[in-house]
Amino acid sequence: MPTALGFLLFAGPLGGIFSFGTLVAVSQVAIGLGISLAVQLAFKPKVPSAPKPEDGRYNLRQNVPSLVVILGRVKKASDYDLLEEKAGIAYHVLVPAAHRIAGFVKHYLHDEEATLDGAGIVVTPDHFNEKVTIQTRLGLNAETAYASLITALPTIWTADHRGDGLASVLMSCKSVAADKYQKTYTQQMPSHSSEIEGALVYDPREIAQDPDDPDSWTFSTNLALLRLFHLTHPSGGKMTFDDMHLPDWIAAANVCDEGVTNRAGESENRYHGGMWYRYENDPVEVGRVMDQAAELVLYETDQGKVGVHAGRFVEPDIRLTEADILSVTFDANRRKNANVLAVRGRFTDPNKLYNTVDAAIYGNPYVGDSSERSKTVENVAVQSHNHMQRLQKIAFQRANAPRVQVLCHYEPAKQVPYRRFIRVHYPPKLTEAVIEITGRPQLSLRNLTYSVEGIVVSGTLYDFDGLTEEGEPPADIVEVEKDDIPVPAGFDVAIQTEVISGGSTAAYGLATWTAQDEELTVEVEWQPTVGGTIRSIQTKSGDVDLRTSYLADGEEYRFRASNWSGGVQSEWTDYEIRTATSDPVPPGVATGVSATGGVGDVTFNWTAPNSANYRAARLYLNTVSDFGTATLVGAEYGTANDVESRIVSSVSAGGYFGWIEAINASGTPAAPVATGAITVT
- Any idea of the CA torsion for 31, 35, 40, 44, to the nearest 10 degrees? 80
**Judgement on whether residues 120 and 226 belong to the same structural domain of the protein:** no
pLDDT single digits (tens) 387-440: 999 999 999 999 999 999 999 999 999 999 999 999 999 999 899 999 999 989
- Closest CA relative to residue 537, chosen from 527, 547, 551, 552: 547
Going by their DSSP bridges, the two strands 325-331 and 403-409 should be labelled as antiparallel
Residues 513 and 658 in one domain: no
Q: In this structure, is residue 672 part of a structural domain? A: yes
Give residue 21's pLDDT: 31
Per-residue model confidence (pLDDT) at position 231: 97
- Contact assessment for residue 632 and residue 620, using Cβ atoms and an 8 Å cutoff: yes
Does any domain span residue 378?
yes
| Within a domain: 38 | no
Residues in the chain with pLDDT values less than 50: 1-48, 50
Q: Are 608 and 619 in contact (CB under 8 A)?
A: no
235 within some domain: yes
For residue 563, give the nearest of 676, 483, 635, 456 by alpha carbon.
483
Helical packing angle, 223-232 and 283-294, nearest 10°: 160
pLDDT of residue 581: 84
Domain annotation covers residue 481? no
Q: How many domains does the chain have?
A: 6
- The amino acid present at 532, given as its one-letter code, is G
The angle at the Cα of 91, spanning 85 to 93, to the nearest 5 degrees, equals 140
- 547 and 432 together in one domain: no
Please indicate, yes or no, if residue 134 is contained in any of the structural domains: yes
Q: Which domain holds residue 567?
A: 492-579
Within 10 angstroms of residue 266's Cβ, the number of other Cβ atoms is: 11
Among the three residues 275, 309, 343, which one is the final residue of a domain in this structure? 309
Asked if 557 and 424 sit in the same domain, the reply is no
Cα gap 547→534, rounded to integer Å: 15
What is the spatial distance between Cα 78 and Cα 424, in angstroms, rounded to a whole number? 52
**156/94 same-domain check:** yes
| 2: in domain | no
Contact at 8 Å (CB) between 244 and 203? no
Residues 321 and 465 in one domain: yes
Shared domain for 145 and 290, answered yes or no, is no
DSSP-derived secondary structure for 477-488: P---PPPPPPPP
CA angle 72, 74, 76 (to 5 degrees): 140
Last residue of a domain, one of 173, 200, 227: 200
Rg (CA), the chain: 42
424 lies in the same domain as 297: no
Among 185, 200, 215, give the residue marking a domain's end.
200
Q: Which amino acid is at 421?
A: F
Q: What pLDDT shows up at residue 127? A: 87
The pTM score is: 0.72
**CATH code for position 523:** 2.60.40.10
pLDDT of residue 138: 96
Is residue 295 domain-shared with residue 322, that is, in the same domain? no
**3-state secondary structure at position 624:** coil
Same domain? For 53 and 164 the reply is yes
CATH number at residue 441: 2.30.300.10
Q: Do 75 and 127 sit in the same domain of this protein?
A: yes
State how beta strands 319-320 and 421-426 pair: parallel
- Give the pLDDT score at 661: 94
Q: Does residue 5 sit within a domain?
A: no
Question: Does residue 65 sit in the same domain as residue 163?
Answer: yes
Distance between CA atoms of 527 and 204, rounded to whole angstroms? 73
